[in-house]
Amino acid sequence: MRQGLQLDWFVYVLLNADGVSYTGIAKDVAVRLEKHNVGAGARFTRGRGPWRTAHVEGPMAHGDALRRELAIKRDSAFKARLKSQALATATPT
């Protein structure tokens, strides 16, 4: 590990009730999730909530988090598994 490397970033995947996923990075996933849910997060998530956390990885360096975010966004099979797991564990309303 390089000296002074900050391992304080997390990669997260959010899901909404329609099964739409959103992948991002943050230093504090709980705070970022709240921002998404109140409409102050990414433009993509506005008006599509409420969101819930489906997957988190980290901590890792910023560059590693960016690379992993891109890999997850490209991996449709991974996101499909997350969605099916979320449906299997969802409580009926």
* In the chain, domain spans: 9-85
Q: Which pLDDT belongs to residue 34?
A: 97
Kindly list the distances between the CA atom of residue 86 and the CA atoms of 14, 21, 50, 83, in Å, as whole numbers in the listed order.
Answer: 10, 11, 14, 5
Domain 9-85 has CATH 3.20.20.450: no
**pLDDT attached to residue 5:** 81
pTM over 0.85: yes
What pLDDT does residue 86 have?
84
The radius of gyration of the chain's CA atoms, rounded to the nearest angstrom, is: 14
Regions of the chain with pLDDT less than 50: none
**pLDDT given at position 3:** 65
- The Cα–Cα gap between 24 and 26 comes to 7
Integer CA distances (angstroms), 60 to 4, 54, 71, in order: 13, 18, 15
Q: What local confidence, expressed as pLDDT, does residue 2 receive?
A: 58
At 93 the pLDDT is 55
